[in-house]
Structure 1
Amino acid sequence: MENMLTDLWHVLIGIALILVMMAAGYLVFSKLTKFDDYAEIQKGNEAAGIYMGGKLLGLAIIVGLVSYSSDSWVEMIVWSVVGIIALCLVYVLFDFLTPKLDVCREIEKGNKAVAQLLRSILVGVSLVIGTFLM
């Protein structure tokens, strides 16, 4: 019974840390966009929802893979932060390498094709980053 309580406590700590890492990643990532993600979603902008979902899914993949392979909470936090920064850098690099495609403006206009493209890139890169950090 004591082992079960210890395991339950570790699960609760893990869930709390994962939620904190996801929230921190979301806040950092949201600062990179030139529009208010949440306001656009509230207005019914599906492209913003697709994009936000892609960011959160990408972050979850990284944090999930890192937490699976980490031996300590500190290690999980450190590698999650590294992964979140790497994912943000990929987004900035994509935005820089596609100057004719203003990603934020297109998503703000509701361009779902751009949102789908960016979501696919974020999820794909998250799998690679998460695997590297395992």
Structure 2
Amino acid sequence: MERLLSNEWILTIANYSVTILMLIVFLAIFETVTKYNNWEEIKKGNVAVAMATGGKMFGVANIFATAIQQTESLITMLLWGGFGFTLLLFSYFIFEFLTPGFNVDEEIGNDNRAVGLLSLLLSVGLSFVIAAGIKQ
């Protein structure tokens, strides 16, 4: 397996495949913690949900991109990516906690684009902070 992964083409496909698989898993987890159905809301044109979901997708991809650059193995990349995702998920709960005047999930579900934009920016911004901590 190590010999196979020494080929840059194969390694790129492996990194891509693992990242896509984990993105699907992580989106499924995000789906369970939100009160709204992401894909149904996006289908209906809910821009706030699209922004929040897109921010999460970008954040996870950014964390995995850095993990790919900073680590030497698929397993280490996967561990860092999982750790980074956990921190990103925790950030979502902190966002909910820090806004006691309104419920983030309800506002995003009601297409409050200001809250959707804040959620997007929080996910993207913190993904860079998380990614900066990834070391070999």
Q: Tell me the TM-score normalised to structure 1 length.
A: 0.92
Partners of 2:7 and 2:66 lie apart in 1 by 22
Number of aligned residue pairs: give it: 131
Residue 116 of structure 2 aligns to which amino acid in structure 1? A
Q: Which residue is 1:31 aligned to?
A: 32
How far off is 1:98 after superposition?
1.4
SS of 1:34 mapped into structure 2: coil
1:31-66 deviation digits (Å, cap 9, x = unpaired)? 221110111001111111111111101111111111
Structure 1 gap segments, 5+ residues each:
none
Give runs of ≥4 in structure 1 deviating > 2 Å. Answer: none
Partners of 1:49 and 1:26 lie apart in 2 by 13
1:1-134 → structure 2 map (5 Å cutoff): 6-134=7-135
- What is the root-mean-square deviation in Å for CA atoms of aligned residues? 1.5
Kept in 2: contact 1:63–1:80 (CA 8 A): yes
Partners of 1:24 and 1:70 lie apart in 2 by 21
Residue 50 of structure 2 aligns to which amino acid in structure 1? G
Identity %: 30
- The answer to which structure has the higher helix fraction is 1
SS of 1:101 mapped into structure 2: coil
